[in-house]
């Protein structure tokens, strides 16, 4: 067990950026943290950290050890959770990765509701508009809105996502609302570059998919910024509905071409395949699925879900 403690101290020093910060984060003395890391280096017979009076840095072997030890320690913790905890007990730190724009638009509500139901869980949320390597970077679970490629990871579908074409009332009044998707080729459009097809927007006609090339005054990798541009009347935007839900409900944005919408990407919870899935991950994924099921049943009206979500029977 002393080896586990030494490894934890080493990982914390690297993650905190120094011995003093690690001591504060762990509630231990700097001298004790330094002692444990030195003992770990002596045990391994290698130097893991380069130390100066002002900073620390990983040696080459230290980088490899940090990466592998972090993953092994996480597996050890998950195994301990599975063995020691009652299966219904949900607790501990849960590292979550989610797209920034999605998180700012809607995820906060469901996370707050989840924590109300599971107060012994500590959420550590990183919002990144990129596909993180959840194993390499030490995440428990990631939320992704995409067409997933084959992977060794486990992906559980949360829901389908409707993709909406919309613009401000003033924009439609000035330019006219299109009756067919092809008309968008001659209209200013706001391009969210996070998505696969970017300047080729996909539609359905007579059951067949086809793309319309679009262009416009803004290309941006932020759905939030794209919505702001649409509200300002700069052009037409095409986004998953949760980014524009409140604006559609208030009438600030008006949808178009609804009969031509293609099925959008799905939302998934993605997590590493492990023999002992921790109770906190299982509870979180189940909660996300149930919350969005309830949301769809209420017509995607988030105000209907201000309290905890009813459990499935």
Task: State pLDDT tens for residues 80-119.
Answer: 776 665 445 788 889 999 887 666 667 788 898 999 999 9
Q: Round the average pLDDT of the chain to a whole number and report it.
A: 85
Q: Retrieve residue 94's tokens.
A: 């849960």
**Residue 182 binned pLDDT confidence (cut-offs 50, 70, 90):** very high
Mean pLDDT computed over 31-60: 90
Asked if residue 34 lies in contact with residue 58, where contact means CB atoms within 8 angstroms, the answer is no
Cα 294 to Cα 158, 252, 291, 298, 308: the distances in Å are 11, 25, 5, 6, 11
H/E stretch holding 211 reads strand 208-213
**Residue 279 binned pLDDT confidence (cut-offs 50, 70, 90):** confident
Q: Is the pLDDT of residue 258 over 80?
A: yes
**Residue 149 binned pLDDT confidence (cut-offs 50, 70, 90):** low
Mean pLDDT computed over 202-218: 92
Higher pLDDT, 117 or 148: 117
Strands 263-271 and 154-167: what pairing?
Answer: antiparallel
- CA-based nearest residue to 35, from 83, 76, 77, 2: 2
Length of the chain: 313
- Position 276 scores a pLDDT of 58
**Residue 75 binned pLDDT confidence (cut-offs 50, 70, 90):** confident
- Position 223 scores a pLDDT of 84
- Position 284 scores a pLDDT of 93
Mean pLDDT computed over 160-177: 93
* pTM reported for the whole predicted model: 0.59
**Residue 306 binned pLDDT confidence (cut-offs 50, 70, 90):** very low
- Position 243 scores a pLDDT of 85
- Which residues pair with residue 5 across a beta bridge? none
In the structure, how many helices (H) and strands (E) does the chain have? 10, 13
Percent of the chain residues topping a pLDDT of 90 = 48
């Amino acid at each position: 067990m002393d080896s586990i403690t030494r490894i934890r101290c080493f990982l914390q020093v690297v993650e905190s950026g120094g011995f003093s910060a690690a001591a504060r984060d762990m509630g231990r003395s700097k001298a004790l943290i330094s002692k444990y890391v030195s003992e770990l280096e002596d045990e391994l017979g290698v130097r893991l950290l380069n130390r100066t009076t002002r900073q620390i840095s990983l040696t080459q072997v230290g980088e490899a050890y940090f990466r592998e030890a972090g993953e092994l320690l996480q597996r050890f913790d998950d195994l301990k959770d599975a063995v020691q905890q009652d299966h219904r007990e949900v607790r501990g730190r849960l590292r979550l990765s989610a797209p920034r724009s999605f998180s700012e638009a809607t995820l906060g509500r469901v996370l707050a509701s989840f924590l109300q139901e599971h107060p012994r869980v500590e959420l550590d949320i990183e919002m990144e508009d990129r596909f993180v390597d959840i194993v390499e970077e030490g995440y428990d679970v990631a939320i992704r809105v995409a067409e997933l490629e084959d992977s060794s990871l486990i992906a559980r579908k949360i829901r389908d996502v409707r993709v909406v074409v919309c613009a401000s009332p003033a924009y439609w009044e000035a330019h006219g609302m299109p009756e067919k998707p092809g008309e968008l080729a001659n209209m200013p459009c706001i391009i969210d570059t996070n998505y696969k097809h970017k300047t080729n927007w996909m539609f359905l006609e007579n059951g067949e998919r086809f793309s319309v090339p679009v262009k416009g005054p803004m290309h941006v990798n932020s759905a939030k910024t794209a919505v702001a541009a649409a509200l300002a009347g700069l052009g037409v935007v095409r986004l998953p509905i949760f980014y524009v839900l409140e604006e559609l409900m208030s009438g600030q944005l008006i949808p178009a071409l609804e009969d031509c919408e293609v099925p959008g990407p799905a939302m998934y919870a993605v997590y590493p395949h492990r023999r002992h899935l921790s109770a906190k991950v299982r509870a979180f994924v189940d909660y996300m699925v149930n919350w969005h099921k309830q949301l769809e049943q209420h017509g995607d009206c988030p105000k209907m879900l201000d309290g905890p979500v009813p459990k499935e029977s």
